[in-house]
Structure formats: C-alpha cells, structure tokens
C-alpha cells in the first residue's frame, strides 16, 4: 500500500471503490436463526446469487429440515451441485441438523435472539465440530442477532492478504484477525463489506491468477501494484504473484 495509507484508510478506500463496481445486493428478509445457520454454510466462500440458488433448491427438494437431516450426504450434495466442496458442505449441513436435533428435538434456534450476543455466539460455537465454522458464527451474529461481526471466508481472507491488511502468519488466529477487521469496519458497513469482498474475490481477485488490470483496487493494492509493475512479457510468464 502507498506509504502514507494505513490499514484504516486502505479499507475505507476499498469500500468506496468496491461500492461502485460491486454494489452489495439489498439486505434480504431476516430468516429464522436455524435457517440462517444453514444458509451461512451454503454461503461460505460463495457469492449470494450462487448460494441463494443452492439454498432454494434445498428448500424445494426436501420436505422439511428433518428430511434433510435423515438424507444421505450425497442426496444433499446433489442440490449443492455447482458450489465448491459440495460434499463437505452437505456433510456440514446434515451434521449440524443432526446435532441440533439430538440436543433439542427441534429445528428451532430462535431462543439465541433472547440471549446476549456473547452468550449466543458461545452457544453456536458449541457446534464447531458439527458444521459451524467461525464464519458461520460471525454471519449469524451479523445477520440474525444484530451484533457487530464481520464473517471472513477464504476468498475474503485472500483479498485481505493481497491488500496486506493481514499478514501471512496472522491467519492462524482467525478470531484475532476478525477482531482487528471488526475494529476497522464499523457495524453499519459490515453487511456491505461482506457482500462486496466476496464479489471481488469471485470475479477479479481469484485464487490462481488475480485479474489485477481490471481491479478497482489496483492503484492501492500492494500485490496489484507489484504485479502490474512487471514488464508485460514477464507479467504474463511466470504468473503474477497470487498468494
């Protein structure tokens, strides 16, 4: 990043630029908490249009949550076709529903809304080995519980690494990374940030070879500046720095 630009300024600038090229979709209607957990599993690392389609297929092809719970992983994975790691996602959904059903004999989780935010996040985190990741906890906190949380999935972390907002070694402590991003991104911008970053990561700042020449952040992103400073022949071969 330019020497005079600190992380706060860079993230402010990122939000301003992304808003023009990848505006966030309108905020959707609030879902019941359990449904938001399942949606977040569909949504992790996936832009809204693709996740919405997969989630809608699941809702139309299964009679209710109990039918999803007792289905095979393959049957659930079939409706996630086209999403990355469809089988793993299906496993997470089934394991979460199974665990929740065994604990409560229900498919309700709305009592979380009556708990304090910390207590609610702690309760959700108990499903950590049953499909609920840090991303899912933060997502539900942001979308259902009215708290300030910024869900970070792998594509968003990739962009933040390339922007040098987070360092390679920091990634091991995801909660700490999230805490620092939540410090920079105010609650009112949390939804917008989440939606815009995933669109950028999906369309431009892709995993293997980022399309820096077409990126709205290219003037401020250290990785983009480095990639674009290479002579054309050298930039084409070998591949630009991907990180």
The site for ligand SF4 (CB under 6 A) is made up of 159, 162-163, 204-205, 210-212, 215, 217-218, 221, 223-224
Shortest reach from residue 243's CB to ligand SF4, in Å:
8
**In angstroms, what is the minimal distance from the CB of 188 to ligand SF4?**
23
Q: How many CA atoms are closer than 13 Å to the CA of 113, on its beta-carbon side? A: 13
Q: In angstroms, what is the minimal distance from the CB of 197 to ligand SF4?
A: 10
The residue at minimum Cβ distance from ligand SF4 is 224
186: closest CA among 65, 12, 66, 5?
12
Nearer to ligand SF4, 99 or 170 (CB): 170
Residue closer to ligand SF4, measured from CB, 131 or 155 = 155
The residue assigned the tokens 């599993």 is 41
For residue 217, the minimal CB distance to ligand SF4 (Å) is: 4
Of 199 and 223, which has the nearer Cβ to ligand SF4?
A: 223
Could you tell me the smallest distance in angstroms from the CB atom of residue 235 to ligand SF4? Answer: 12
Cβ-based nearer residue to ligand SF4, 24 or 221: 221
Residue with Cβ nearer ligand SF4 (53 or 203): 203
Nearest to 214 by CA among 21, 59, 1, 25: 21
Q: How far is the CB of 196 from ligand SF4 (least distance, A)?
A: 12
Quick one: 68 or 217, whose CB is closer to ligand SF4? 217
């Amino acid at each position: 990043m330019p020497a005079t630009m600190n992380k706060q300024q860079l993230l402010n600038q990122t939000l301003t630029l992304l808003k023009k090229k990848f505006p966030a979709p309108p905020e959707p209607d609030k879902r019941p908490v359990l449904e938001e957990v399942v949606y977040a599993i569909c949504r992790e690392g996936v832009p809204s249009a693709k996740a919405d389609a997969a989630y809608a297929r699941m809702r139309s092809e299964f009679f209710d949550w109990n039918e999803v719970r007792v289905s095979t992983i393959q049957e659930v994975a079939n409706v996630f076709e086209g999403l990355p790691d469809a089988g793993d996602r299906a496993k997470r959904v089934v394991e979460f529903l199974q665990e929740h059903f065994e604990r409560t004999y229900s498919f309700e989780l709305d009592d979380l809304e009556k708990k304090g935010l910390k207590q609610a996040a702690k309760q959700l985190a108990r499903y950590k080995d049953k499909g609920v990741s840090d991303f899912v906890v933060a997502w539900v906190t942001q979308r259902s519980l009215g708290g300030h949380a910024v869900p970070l999935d792998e594509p968003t972390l990739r962009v933040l690494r390339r922007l040098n907002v987070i360092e390679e070694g920091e990634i091991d402590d995801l909660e700490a990374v999230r805490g620092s991003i939540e410090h920079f991104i105010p609650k009112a911008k949390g939804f917008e940030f989440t939606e815009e970053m995933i669109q950028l990561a999906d369309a431009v700042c892709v995993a293997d070879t980022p399309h820096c020449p077409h990126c709205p952040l290219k003037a401020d992103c250290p990785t983009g500046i480095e990639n674009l400073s290479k002579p054309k022949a050298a930039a084409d071969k070998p591949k630009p720095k991907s990180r």
